[in-house]
A and B are shown apart, each in its own frame.
Chain A
Amino acid sequence: ELKVEQNPLFLSMQEGKNYTIYCNYSTTSDRLYWYRQDPGKSLESLFVLLSNGAVKQEGRLMASLDTKARLSTLHITAAVHDLSATYFCAEGGATNKLIFGTGTLLAVQP
């Protein structure tokens, strides 16, 4: 069964701290997506990682992909309250069918 697992499921952080969300997937796909979802809202695309070793950064977020380990990480640097949301990784390969992880609920406390 194709699976995408994220950990932690819930992350409470203080502003200014750093942390990493982990995404393990079970296929040989070399394409990994990260999305952000605010409560009651749709999915906002954050990063598209297309190959082994890919690293992308936007503001305080940085995502990386290791296809050999089937692992992607989303690193948060100096967290701020505005980053509070649920973050999903999704594996997408030869088709447009995305397999989503369980999500990580991030709460940044002042």
Chain B
Amino acid sequence: DAGVTQSPTHLIKTRGQHVTLRCSPISGHKSVSWYQQVLGQGPQFIFQYYEKEERGRGNFPDRFSARQFPNYSSELNVNALLLGDSALYLCASSFRESYNEQFFGPGTRLTVL
């Protein structure tokens, strides 16, 4: 079975632009979470979606938004990009909404110039 997949692998944007990152969970997994990992730090929780509903949001500005589709794939959108948004964005999937091990995708490396 395929693991969690993410696209694109790398992305370069300029300040003020908008970006959309995509994630496909492991088949059968209904929960998708997004994390931001700035270089040299641990991942920070951004969002969790379960059954197409937002179940949790981390301490990120409203420029960050996400959604989950009927096939359980997910998009993370970031508007008005800042230099500080440069990071590795990780998607994780799990079968249940809570108390469940999460499996991480390869990540999308976003560079904002």
Contacts and interface: CB of A to CB of B under 8 A. Distances in A.
Nearest to A100: B42
A57 interface: no
Nearest to A103: B42
A45 interface: yes
A99 B92 CA distance: 13
A97 B56 contact: yes
A75 interface: no
Contact of A100 (B33, B44, B55): B44
B15 to A, nearest CB: 24
A80 B100 CA distance: 31
B98 A45 contact: no
Interface in A41-82: 41-45, 48
Nearest to B40: A103
Given A96-B94, A97-B45, A97-B48, A45 B101 contact: yes
B33 A97 contact: yes
A94 B98 contact: yes
A101 B92 CA distance: 17
Interface of A: 4, 31, 33, 35, 40-45, 48, 88, 90, 92-103
Given A45-B104, A88-B42, 6 more contacts: A92-B102, A93-B99, A96-B97, A97-B48, A97-B58, A103-B41
17 contacts: A41-B106, A41-B107, A42-B104, A42-B105, A43-B43, A48-B101, A92-B102, A93-B99, A95-B48, A96-B50, A97-B33, A97-B56, A97-B58, A98-B33, A100-B43, A102-B41, A103-B41
